[in-house]
């Protein structure tokens, strides 16, 4: 009798399991990424998977593994504050070494339910915990005790991370790493200077180097929030990628260093006509007995009203971070880690290696020129990139590309040297007579003759190693790339009918 009962019970369990699986198959589609699998709602208007963000997740896993290694295989307590479907947390659990615990949080209960399903699917219930809470409230509550703080906090919101930065720097342990994504590129790149000020406390400007300016606005904002709690930041990697920005920042406790962070904050006066930029610091700190003293920068080599090149009225941009964007040693450690991996581990490894090498080659000098742009200002023929790079190097200055723009010129040469080089180039390749009228900006630029002699001989060392090795440095975006539409949640008492379903916006829960 007992054996018959057990047989019936087993048959019922198998039937229920197959029914559950059938229900899941009807509701969800299943994707694979890295070592993880994840369910996503089949309903077209609710959930979709964005493969473009795979690079973001691959890079984050590489950074966290490197961070753990350089900290003596430190056990990591990780918070994904805006987890959505939790695919990022699943991959962290399966692919990041030395994970102690991952808290995957989202304010939407449907997203948390999906996280629970994905935990079971990946057998990571022992590592990943889910939470349905407001991210800011959650982080503030965790900031009160060192034991509840996190080693790693990942902020990947839709749009701006501004409202989460304060609670994030409070709830991270000293020496912890903060990972931040911002997809509000329009605001950060100058299409709403007033909005940028309300979100980040900085004024942005639409200019050829706006993507690096955006990174520096974000870093200034994080630094400002950290300083309020006697903390300071050390950026290890700051990248402009596709339609978003991704920053990896170490956060430390230290009142003295927090005060000294003002040394890395300043402004840029940027010409709207010729796009020349002039850096202006607040000042600098000098050490005193047991403290530091701030000294204002009361002198400047520039007349910060008119452009020294074309006499146009300058625009004031900032405050921004003027310090380093990357830690080159940390990047080399990431590359060493990736040297042990292949495209089976990371589908985007080729792009990661290319972009990291490019970032490692970047000069630390802030901002850059676009060669086509400054030649367009002069209405002159554009020289070959190697010719321009060689000319700068022959003047005993350094030059590099920026990872932000393909035809960029990043250099430690003063702006007047760049324009003197172009003036000498125009002597070889004259501009048309119609551009030399007194009211034209080309006339205003050329009326001051070049003060330096320029050698345009192409050098053997003008081509960076990343280019010599044919690394994938600037990837063309695939069709239909982008962040997707902002999640739109319904209130509990909102009636849903077919009309609403047809007009409901697409939701990206693939973070």
Alpha carbon 371 to its chain's center: 24
- Give yes or no for residue 508 having a pLDDT over 60: no
Q: Which pTM was predicted?
A: 0.89
- The answer to whether 112 touches 131, Cβ cutoff 8 Å, is yes
How many whole angstroms separate alpha carbon 135 and alpha carbon 475? 33
How many whole angstroms separate alpha carbon 127 and alpha carbon 103? 9
Give the pLDDT confidence of 42-80 residue by residue, as tens digits.
665 454 567 788 999 999 999 999 999 999 888 999 999
Question: How does DSSP assign 90-156, residue by residue?
Answer: HHHHHHSTTEEEEEEE-S-HHHHHHHHHHHHHHT-TTTEEEE-S-HHHHHHHHTTSGGGSEEEEEE-
With bands split at pLDDT 50, 70 and 90, how would you rate the model's confidence at 23? Answer: low
Cβ neighbours, 10 Å, residue 299? 5
**pLDDT > 70: what percent of the chain?**
85
Give the pLDDT confidence of 389-411 residue by residue, as tens digits.
999 999 999 999 999 999 999 99
How many whole angstroms separate alpha carbon 309 and alpha carbon 464? 29
Among 71, 215, 257, 214, smallest CA distance to 152 is for: 71
Going along the chain from its start, the domains and CATH numbers come out as 33-359 (3.40.50.150), 368-468 (no CATH)
Q: Do the bridges between strand 36-41 and strand 76-80 make them parallel or antiparallel, or are there none, so unpaired?
A: unpaired
Q: How much is the pLDDT for 288?
A: 83
How many whole angstroms separate alpha carbon 89 and alpha carbon 132? 15
Give the pLDDT confidence of 250-307 residue by residue, as tens digits.
999 999 999 999 999 999 999 999 999 999 988 888 888 778 888 887 655 555 789 9
């Amino acid at each position: 009798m007992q054996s018959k009962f057990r047989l019936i019970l087993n048959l019922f369990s198998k039937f229920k399991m197959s029914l559950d699986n059938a229900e899941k198959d009807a509701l969800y589609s299943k994707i694979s990424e890295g070592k993880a699998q994840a369910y996503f709602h089949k309903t077209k208007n609710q959930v979709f998977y964005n493969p473009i963000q795979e690079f973001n997740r691959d890079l984050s896993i590489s950074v966290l593994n490197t961070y753990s290694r350089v900290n003596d295989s430190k056990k990591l307590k990780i918070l994904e504050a805006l987890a959505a479907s939790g695919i990022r947390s699943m991959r962290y659990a399966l692919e990041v070494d030395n994970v102690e615990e991952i808290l995957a949080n989202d304010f939407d209960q449907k997203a948390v339910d999906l996280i629970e399903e994905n935990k079971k699917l990946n057998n990571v219930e022992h590592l990943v915990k889910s939470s349905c809470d407001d991210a800011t409230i959650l982080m503030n509550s965790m900031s009160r005790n060192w034991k509840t703080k996190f080693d790693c906090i990942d902020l990947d919101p839709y749009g701006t991370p501004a409202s989460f930065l304060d609670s994030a720097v409070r709830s991270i342990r000293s020496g912890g790493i903060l990972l931040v994504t911002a997809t509000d590129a329009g605001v950060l790149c100058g299409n709403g200077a007033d909005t940028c000020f309300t979100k980040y406390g900085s004024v942005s400007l639409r200019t050829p180097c706006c993507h690096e300016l955006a990174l520096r606005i974000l870093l200034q904002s994080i630094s400002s929030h950290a300083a309020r709690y006697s903390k300071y930041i050390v950026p290890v990697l700051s990248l402009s990628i596709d339609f978003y920005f991704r920053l990896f920042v170490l956060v430390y406790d230290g009142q003295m260093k927090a005060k000294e962070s003002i040394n890395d904050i300043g402004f840029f006066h940027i010409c709207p006509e010729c796009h020349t930029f002039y850096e202006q610091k607040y000042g600098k700190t000098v050490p005193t007995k047991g403290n530091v003293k701030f000294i204002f920068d009361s002198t400047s080599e520039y007349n910060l009203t008119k452009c020294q090149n074309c006499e146009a009225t300058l625009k004031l941009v900032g405050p921004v971070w003027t310090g380093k964007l990357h830690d080159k040693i940390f990047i080399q450690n990431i590359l060493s880690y990736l040297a042990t991996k292949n495209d089976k581990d990371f589908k985007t490894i080729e792009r990661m290696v290319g972009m990291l090498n490019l970032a490692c080659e970047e000069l630390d000098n802030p901002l850059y020129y676009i060669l086509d742009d400054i030649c367009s200002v002069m209405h002159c023929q554009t020289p070959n990139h190697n010719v321009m790079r060689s000319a700068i190097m022959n003047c005993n200055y350094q030059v590099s590309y920026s990872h932000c723009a393909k035809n960029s010129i990043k250099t430690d040469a003063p702006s007047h040297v760049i324009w003197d080089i172009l003036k000498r180039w125009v002597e070889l390749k004259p501009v048309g007579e119609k551009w030399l009228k007194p009211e034209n900006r080309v006339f205003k630029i050329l009326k001051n003759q070049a003060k330096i002699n320029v050698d345009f001989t192409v050098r053997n060392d003008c081509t960076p190693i990343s280019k010599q090795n044919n690394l994938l440095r600037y990837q063309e975006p695939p069709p239909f790339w982008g962040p997707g539409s902002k999640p739109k949640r319904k209130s509990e008492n909102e009636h849903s009918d077919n009309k609403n379903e047809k007009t409901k916006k697409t939701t990206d829960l693939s973070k």
